[in-house]
Amino acid sequence: MLELIKSRTSVRKFSSRDVPEDMVRAILEAARWAPTAGNLQPWFFYVVRDRALREALASFALNQGFVARAPVCFVVCAEPHRSAGVYGSRGRDLYCIQDTAAAVQNILLAATALGLGSCWVGAFDEEKVRDFLKMPEGRRPVAIVPVGYAEPGGGGRPGRRETKEIARFL
């Protein structure tokens, strides 16, 4: 597992090769098994394969064209009311975001395990995405994750800070 985690990169160059439906479903299955506070599963996933819809998502994501070039995009949404019903404002403002972040990480790792590239995109206009996908009241888009086969050189391996810089052992 550690090697899989270390091999994941953010891919921004995708081939036009389609992602098979069974892989898309496997990635979605990985997402739905992410841990959540109280097992409330406060999320919803839009699986966007249509080219015109992906182009619109790219325009809402600061015109990041690679979003449209990936053959599939997962729009990961939080449903804060599900967490708030049990945990109040902390559930609404924090737990549902943590839970969807765990689902995004599972999407990224599942894609990597399947030989696909992906990228966590958080820079987008929430209102435009919400309106465009006709989301019901209370559903909040928190990430767009384009997924596809990476082109050579499509992802890089950035360095990481040393453990001594980021952790304190007590």
pLDDT tens-place values along the chain, 170 residues long? 999 999 999 999 999 999 999 999 999 999 999 999 999 999 999 999 999 999 999 999 999 999 999 999 999 999 999 999 999 999 999 999 999 999 999 999 999 999 999 999 999 999 999 999 999 999 999 999 999 999 987 777 778 899 999 999 99
Tell me what pLDDT residue 154 has.
Answer: 72
The Cα 22–Cα 40 span in angstroms is: 26
Name the pTM for this structure: 0.95
- Do 77 and 101 meet the contact criterion of CB atoms below 8 Å apart? no
Residues 6+ apart with CB under 8 A from 80: 42, 91, 92, 93, 96, 138, 140
Class of domain 15-150 as given by CATH = alpha beta
The Cα 48–Cα 34 span in angstroms is: 21
The phi, psi pair for 122, rounded to 5°, reads -110, -10
Tell me what pLDDT residue 38 has.
Answer: 97
C-alpha atoms less than 13 angstroms from C-alpha of 47 in its C-beta half-sphere: 13
DSSP 91: I
Tell me what pLDDT residue 152 has.
Answer: 84
Q: What angle do CA 28, 43, 86 make, to 5 degrees?
A: 140
CB burial class (10 A; 0-12, 13-18, 19+) of residue 7?
Answer: exposed
Domain parsing of the chain, residue ranges: 15-150
Tell me what pLDDT residue 157 has.
Answer: 75
Tell me what pLDDT residue 156 has.
Answer: 73
